[in-house]
Structure formats: structure tokens, C-alpha cells
Amino acid sequence: MGGTSILLTAPGGAWYNAQQNTVDEVQVKRFFQRTSALSVGLAVSISAMMPSAGTPPSALAASCAPIVNGSMAGPGHATAYGVVADGWNPFVLSAATPTFEWVNNENAPGDPVMGSQYIWADLVGFDAGIDQTITGLTPGVYYRFWLGYALAAYDPGDQINHRNNLIGRQVGIDLTGGTDPRSPTVAWGTIYWDGNAALNIPALSMTFAAQSSRATIFLRVVNTNINNGRSKVWFDAVCMEMLNPQPSPVPSTVFLPFVRVNSIACTPLTTVATIPVGVHPKGVAVDPPTNRVFVSLFDSSAVAVVDAATNQVLATWSTNSSGHSNGVSVSGGNIYVALRDAASVAVLNASTGAFVANRSVGSQPYGVGATGSRVWVANFASNSVSILDAATTNGVTTTNAGSNPSLVAPAASSAFVSDLGDGVMEVANDGTLLHNFTATGAGSFGIAFNAATNQVYVSNRNTSQVAALDATTGAVVKSVTLAQVPYALAFESNRNHLFVVLAESNQLAILDGATLNSIAVVSIGAQGAQGGDGIALMNNRVYVVNNDAGTMSVIQDACP
């Protein structure tokens, strides 16, 4: 198998002058003439769309029906955020709002129609973009769309466009035709951070099978460049085509790029990376829309931002407090960070790190969990649980209950909270105490929820037991005593794996979710006396923070 990579260089020299932001259009046109017939894909059976590789047959065409105005022709129309190219609508996901402009001084090389969508802001991070609902699709037919031109640059004040890797570009699609970029029905591709490339980036394309006659495509900017003047992105040359030939009529078959990763085979239940994140990490949370992992750093009261695709720390964001970061969770485009010694929760924008708010909660907030419209905060010292509204970030209520509430496992409209003093509570999204289960007793700490079986997993640090409770009655369904002390838990439903942090032996145990039998044990980093709190799951990987080592272990749960 092989693949076609499109590079921004040509035999006669570079296409781009990074300082002057100019392009050798002759080289570009010759390149597309040579590669117009090429495409590449790997057919596999999966249940979701993925980015597609391949050179579009006419990447810079002026018209790419069924997309309306893919060439971003002007003069555009006025919106609340500024001028947007006709046929497109703006959206903003961040607290900061960038400026939208239609401009005719920058566009894709080879595009005969001048103009592009320009989005920019000065000295502030932002998360925004444009979308369009496509009509006239044939259900069951495979299509590919791509963003042909996505130039990102910053101007520190010298009137020259510079490049860095802090301005991300991303495409997404909602096969239902919905227009809410926050909706779980939106499938997002990989955020592309490389500032050098702008033309025909394979990551900025997707192949999909239409579910109806409508679908909405999203073009997104995630800007984390806040210290280098004006951050700006130009979008142009958006095209779509019906695949020809169509894939074989096998359900859920799509075309994926062929990617070779140093010829290293995937081995499940092994450590694939150990990432230095900062001094004394405590909690960890994941955000699939941005493919990022957020790690709370106790000493610096900050949050480390890790790119899950590269396992690299992208940035460290301040919480504007010295209250010591503890638990962390993500909901509604925001990060919620428990500030253990400030009786508050810092709210940061999950895309840009911009400070949103600081909300008062109970004494010594420890674990944080979020789902849907609510965020639950376990207040260890005040024996209470605070609830925040994820839409407004405002406090909803505080429920006084439990004995040393510790960690949180959200369910659909409630959350299970471990009580180190006596067991497990279930707290509704309006603050109502639904249950107070005492079967696991004092020492109850780690907690996870299995929605398929309606069971709650609880670890006990005093007895070294892990138990599965009936989530309705609190009765013990199954329990096992481990050789090491169990701390935080996480449950993965697809493979029915229960992950248990064994902090005192610096290990991660993997148990069968039904039988609680041991499947494997993997070594992790040093936890120390304050470790064992942070574990999260995303995209077949397990993320465990190592408090004493200042690192995060990444364990492969299953091969993609």
C-alpha cells in the first residue's frame, strides 16, 4: 500500500515566501496538472467518518457544487460578527469574538475568483469559524469535501505575515444537517497546527456517506496565539465531489488515508508515551472535539494542554488563582478546574485557555465531573456537592451531604460521588440527593459508572476492594480484593474494561467489567503520597497522571 503526500515545495523552489506571504502560482498550477488524477485511500469498516487523504481533482476550482460559493466570492453579507462570504454563516465557540471579513487581497493560488473569508483577532485566543448546510445529497452515496486553502499567520506589528504552530484549522461535518457546532452529532477531524502549510492539507478533508439529502460542513479556527500581535486565517477553495467509483456496498465503509507511523505495530495494554506535564499533576480530563487532554497542575494552579495526536504539551494555561488546581473536567466548551485551597472553580475556554469566570463552591473542592448541562464539584472539607450550569457557568445549588466527598462519576442526569467517610452518593442535576449507598463503607474513593449494566464501580482504599454496585439499590453485585490499594477508576464500555490506579505500587490494573477478573497490569509513573487521582479515557487510550513524577502516562487500550 502507498499514499500521496502533497508538499508545499516544487522542483524549482518553494511555493511560499513565508515572510511576504506570496505564492508561485505557476508552480502550483503545474503541480495540479500533474496530480489531478491522483487519489489514495484505505478501505476499512468503521462506524464513523474520518479525514480522507487524496489530491482533489480540482482543488482550486471556482465552483464545487453542491457547495455554494466554495470560492468565497464577494462581496459577502453582514452578520453580527462581521462580513461573511455569501452562502456561509459564522459561529463563535469562545468567549472572545474575532472579526470576520471578506477580503479580495488574499485567495487560493489558481482560484480564478478573487476573495477569501478572513478571520482575525489581536492578542487574544479564539475559537470560531463558518459553516454551510449542503442540500441535494443522495442518501447512501459517498462524497468527499475538502478545504483547499487555509492560510494561518500572525502579524506582530511589522506588517509581515509570520508562521507558528499556535493557530489550528479544522473541518467537521454534521450528517443530520444540524447547524450547532457544539452538537454531539458533529464529527470533527484533526486540528491541523502546522503553520507552514496552507494549501490542500489532507487533514482538512473528510469522506462520508450521506444519511439524508442534507449535511452541514464546518470550517473552524482554534487560535492559541495570544502574545504575538494579530492572529489571522484565510479560508478559500472549498469543494465537494461524489466519489467515483463509489466504494463497495459494505455498510460503514469509508476511505481513510494510509498512514505509516515509523512501522511500529500497535500493542494493546502497553504504555505508548510518558509526557512531562509539570510539577505535581492531580486531575485529568479529555476533550474529543479538540483532541486534547487537560491536566491540572497543583503547585502552579494551572492546566497543561496536551495534543493527543502528538502527545506534546501545547501550552500551560493559568487559572488566575493561587488556589492549587485539583480535579478538572470539560463541558460546553469550557474547562472546570477545582481550586482546592480557594473554595472555588476556575472556568477556562477549552479552545483558547481564556479565563471565563471563577465560581465559589464549598470548602476544599476535590473531584469534578460534567455531563450535558451540569458540572458536579465534590467539596471534601465541607461535606457537600456544588452544581454549576455548564451553559452559563453559574452556580445552581450546593447540596450538603456525605462525609468527605472525593471523586465524581457523571451519569445521564445525575452524578455518583464517592465519600471517603462512608460510601457513595447519587446527586441529581438539580441538587436532589437521590441515594446514599453505604455498602462500600469508609475508604470509598475511586468511582466509575457503567450505563449499560446500570452499575457503579467503587474502589476502597481501606479494604483494597473494588465493588460493582446496583446503581438503583446500592446492593453489591460483585466485589474483588486486590493485592494493591486501588485509587481512581475509569470504565470503558466498548471493551468492558475497568481501569484501576494502584497508586502505591505505581501500576494500572485492567479488570473485566463483568467479572472483575484481572486482565493485565501496566506500570505507570511515580504517584507519591498525593497521587492516584487522575485518569481519563479517549480514542482507545488511557491517560493517567503521575503526581510525584510530574508526568502523564498514555496507555494503549486497543488498536485503532
Query: Which tens digit of pLDDT belongs to each residue from 339-369?
Result: 999 999 999 999 889 999 999 999 999 999 9
CA-based Rg of the chain, rounded to a whole angstrom? 25
Cα(128)–Cα(393) distance, rounded to whole angstroms? Answer: 20
Which cell goes with 6? 502533497
The pTM score is 0.61
On whether the CB atoms of residues 416 and 437 are closer than 8 A, the answer is no
Question: What are the structural domains, with CATH classification, of the chain?
Answer: 14-256 (2.60.120.260), 273-556 (2.130.10.10)
Query: Which tens digit of pLDDT belongs to each residue from 297-347?
Result: 999 999 999 999 889 998 999 999 999 999 999 998 999 999 999 999 999
Which cell goes with 22? 506570496
CB atoms within 10 A of CB 171: 26
Diameter over CA atoms, the chain = 74
Dihedral pair phi/psi, residue 441, rounded to 5°:
70, -170
Element (H, E) at 207: strand 205-209
Which residues of 333-443 form beta strands (DSSP E)?
334-339, 344-349, 355-360, 365-371, 374-379, 384-389, 395-400, 405-410, 414-419, 423-428, 433-437
On whether the CB atoms of residues 414 and 431 are closer than 8 A, the answer is no
**Helices (DSSP H) in 181-222: which residue ranges?**
none
The helix/strand/coil state of 390 is coil
pLDDT in tens, the chain (560 residues): 332 222 233 222 333 333 333 333 333 333 333 333 222 222 222 233 433 333 333 344 444 779 999 999 999 999 999 999 999 999 998 878 999 999 988 877 767 778 999 999 999 888 899 999 999 999 999 999 999 999 999 999 999 999 988 899 999 999 999 999 888 788 888 888 889 999 989 989 998 889 999 999 999 999 888 888 999 999 999 999 998 888 765 444 444 444 443 434 678 899 999 999 999 999 999 998 888 999 999 999 999 999 998 899 989 999 999 999 999 999 989 999 999 999 999 999 998 899 999 999 999 999 999 998 999 999 999 999 999 999 999 999 999 999 999 999 999 999 999 999 999 999 999 999 999 999 999 999 999 999 999 999 999 999 999 999 999 999 999 999 999 999 999 999 989 999 999 999 999 999 999 999 999 999 999 999 999 999 999 999 999 999 999 999 999 998 86
Q: Give the Cα-Cα-Cα angle 173, 175, 180 (nearest 5 degrees).
A: 60
On whether the CB atoms of residues 415 and 396 are closer than 8 A, the answer is no
Question: Which pairing describes strands 465-470 and 77-79: parallel, antiparallel, or unpaired?
Answer: unpaired
